[in-house]
Amino acid sequence: MSATSAPGAVSTAPSKQPGNTPPSRVKKARNPKRVLVYVLLSVGLLIMSAPFLWMALSAFKTPQELTASPPVWIPTEWTLENFRDLLDKLDLPLYFMNSVIVAMLVTASNLVFCSMLGYALAKLNFAGRNKIFGLVLGALMVPGNLMLLPLFVLMSKLHLIDSYAGLVLPFAAGAFGVFLMRQFMQSIPDELLEAARMDGAGEWYIFWRIVMPLVKPALATLSIFTFLGSWNNFVWPLIATNDPDKYTLPVALATFATDPNKAGGSNGMLMAGSLLVVLPVVILFIALQRHFTQGIATAGMK
Partner 1 sequence: MRTMTAKAAESAKAQAGPGASGSPATGPAGRRGGSKSMGVQNLAGWLFSTPFLVLFLVFMAFPILATLAMSFTDFGLRTVTHPLDANFIGFENYVNLFSDEKFLKSLFNTAYFVVVGVPLTIFLGLVVAVLLNNGIDRARTFFRVGFYTPVVTTIVAVAVVWRFVLDPSDGLVAGLFSEVGLTSPDFLGSETLAMPSMIAMAVWRNLGTVMVLFIAGLQAIPTEVREAARLDGAGAWQEFKGITVPLLRPTLLYATVITTIGYLNVFEEPFVMTQGGPSDSTLTVSLNMYREGFNFFHMGYASAMAYVLFVVIMGITVLQLRLLKDNTK
Q: What are the CB-based long-range contacts (under 8 Å, 24+) for 81-85?
A: 81/268, 82/268, 82/269, 82/271, 82/272, 83/59, 83/272, 83/276, 85/266, 85/268, 85/269
Q: Which of residues 48-87 bind partner 1 (CB under 8 A)?
A: 48-52, 54-55, 58, 66-71, 73
Distance, in Å, from the CA atom of 52 to the CA atom of 58, rounded to the nearest integer, reads: 10
Q: What does residue 270 show for φ and ψ, rounded to 5 degrees?
A: -65, -35
Stretch that binds partner 1, among 13-21, 78-86, 87-95, 154-162 (CB under 8 A): 154-162
CB of residue 218 to partner 1, shortest distance in Å? 16
Distance, in Å, from the CA atom of 158 to the CA atom of 237, rounded to the nearest integer, reads: 16
First to last CA, the chain: 30
187 touches partner 1 (CB under 8 A): no
Stretch that binds partner 1, among 16-24, 84-92, 147-155, 212-220 (CB under 8 A): 147-155
Nearer to partner 1, 19 or 242 (CB): 242
Q: Which of 26, 80, 97, 124 binds partner 1 (CB under 8 A)?
A: 124
Distance, in Å, from the CA atom of 55 to the CA atom of 261, rounded to the nearest integer, reads: 22
Q: What does residue 249 show for φ and ψ, rounded to 5 degrees?
A: -55, -50
Distance, in Å, from the CA atom of 182 to the CA atom of 133, rounded to the nearest integer, reads: 10
Stretch that binds partner 1, among 19-27, 76-84, 89-97, 134-142 (CB under 8 A): 134-142
**Total residues contacting partner 1 (rule CB under 8 A)?**
106
Peptide linkage before 70 cis (omega within 30 of 0): yes
Q: Which of 93, 150, 189, 264 binds partner 1 (CB under 8 A)?
A: 150
41 touches partner 1 (CB under 8 A): yes
Nearer to partner 1, 21 or 242 (CB): 242
Q: Which of residues 238-277 bind partner 1 (CB under 8 A)?
A: 239, 249-251, 253-254, 257-258, 267, 270-271, 273-274, 277
CB of residue 17 to partner 1, shortest distance in Å? 19
CA distances from 67 to 37, 59, 62, 64, 84 (A): 38, 13, 9, 6, 19
Stretch that binds partner 1, among 17-25, 90-98, 148-156, 214-222 (CB under 8 A): 148-156
Tell which residue, 61, 89, 56, 102, has the closest CA to residue 256. 89
Q: Which of residues 190-229 bind partner 1 (CB under 8 A)?
A: 197-198, 203-204, 207, 228
Nearer to partner 1, 40 or 80 (CB): 40
